[in-house]
Amino acid sequence: MSQTKCNVIGSRLYLAGSFSKEIEHALKNNRVTELEFLEDWSDFSCFDGLVNEIEYIKLCGASESGKISAVDNIGVFIKLKKLVMLSKVKKDFDLSVLHNLEMIDAIWQAKLSTALKCNNLNKLIIHSVGSDFVNYFGQCSHVEYLWLSKPKIDDLSCLKYFPGLTTLRITDAHKIETVDGIAYCKSLRKLDVENAKLLHDIGEVIQLQNLSNLRLIKLSENLDISIVKSCSAIETLYVGGPNAPVLNWTVLLKNLPLKKVIGWWNPLDAPKDELLSALGSGKTPSRFDVVGGKGRQLLTIEFS
């Protein structure tokens, strides 16, 4: 490792180099609850007894390669709630020793599944999930938030292991064509899908009776959103992207308890007066903003 460097900003201590008296002094004399390791540390045993209040750790890996060689003795962080790892870990590890762990943000590798033994774990941000993902998970009913970033899977059958989800986010998914499998998540309230250009079928969302927030950005130009009018709990709807279809505004405003909706609008097909009349008596938007000139425009309607 290089020469020791440490810097405290607010409640976070930034570390580089090897353990030293300087680091020990910083931990003992500052109210530090977050650590960011700017280099590969490998073994955390030197922190035993000094990090009992640490709740957040970010592991950046080696300064040149970005690799994380090991996370030995990570259990010394007895109150750790949030763990971010910017690279895969080369050596085997076991996260089940982190009994207070609530959130993981990491690139997929099989050993991440050891964290599922942590009963407080409720948030997973997993990057580059592969087809082997489902081989390492049993029922993860305690996980409420799942973000699949750049997944390599071509379907969402893995969701059967996450029946307790309330929020699902999927970004940069280049193989997924449907949301089939999402019906396993009966408690889902928020679905956010962005940059999934093959995704054209969202029909299964109709089975989600608690879904109140739906965000669909940069999906297939063949996306069929007609099913949304039957999702009776939708309060916030955002359908965007250059190829997104024009919304059937009058139908949506008549059938859904909307508080905010953003999407493409063609005033020639559905004039403003027609939209306002679709709301019925006693309901007036607090916001009616239009972006764009003639033809298709991006409309935001919001109700206070």
Confidence of residue 61 (pLDDT cuts 50, 70, 90): very high
State which residues form the domain around 281. 246-304
Same domain, residue pair 175 and 139: yes
The string of DSSP codes covering 107-121 is E--GGGGGGGG-TT-
Whether 275 and 211 share a structural domain: no
DSSP assignment letter at 281: T
Q: Answer yes or no: are the C-beta atoms of 128 and 148 closer than 8 Å.
A: no
Domain check: are 133 and 229 in the same one? yes
- Measured distance CA(228)–CA(231) in Å, rounded: 5
- In tens, the pLDDT along 212-270 reads 999 999 999 999 999 999 999 999 999 999 999 999 999 999 999 999 999 999 999 99
Looking at the domain assignment, is residue 222 inside a domain? yes
Last residue of a domain, one of 74, 93, 112: 93
Task: Please report, in angstroms and rounded to a whole number, the separation of the first and last CA atoms in the chain.
Answer: 56
Boundary of a domain, candidates 233, 256, 281: 233
The confidence score (pLDDT) of residue 295 equals 82
In the chain the beta strands, taken as DSSP E runs, fall at 5-9, 12-16, 34-37, 42-43, 56-59, 71-72, 82-85, 103-107, 123-127, 145-149, 167-171, 190-196, 213-219, 236-240, 260-265, 287-291, 297-302
Kindly report, residue by residue over 187-216, the tens digit of the pLDDT. Answer: 999 999 999 999 999 999 999 999 999 999
Domain end (from 205, 233, 261): 233
In the predicted model, is pLDDT for residue 1 greater than 70? no
How many separate domains does the chain show? 3
Tell me: pLDDT of 111 over 80.
Answer: yes
Q: Is residue 108 part of a domain?
A: no
Tell me the pLDDT band of 2, cut-offs 50, 70 and 90.
low
**CATH number for 186:** 3.80.10.10
Q: Residue 104's closest CA among 127, 84, 129?
A: 84
Spacing of C-alpha 95 from chain mean position: 20
* Same domain as 220, residue 255: no
Residue 266 counted as domain residue: yes
Residue 124 has pLDDT above 50, yes or no: yes
In the chain, how many H helices and how many E strands?
3, 17
- DSSP-derived pairing of the beta strands 260-265 and 297-302: antiparallel
Structure confidence at residue 3 (pLDDT): 63
In this structure, are 220 and 256 located in the same domain? no
Dihedral Cα 48, 51, 52, 54, nearest 10 deg: -140
pTM over 0.85: yes
User: 3-class DSSP state for residue 217?
Assistant: strand
Same domain, 174 and 277: no
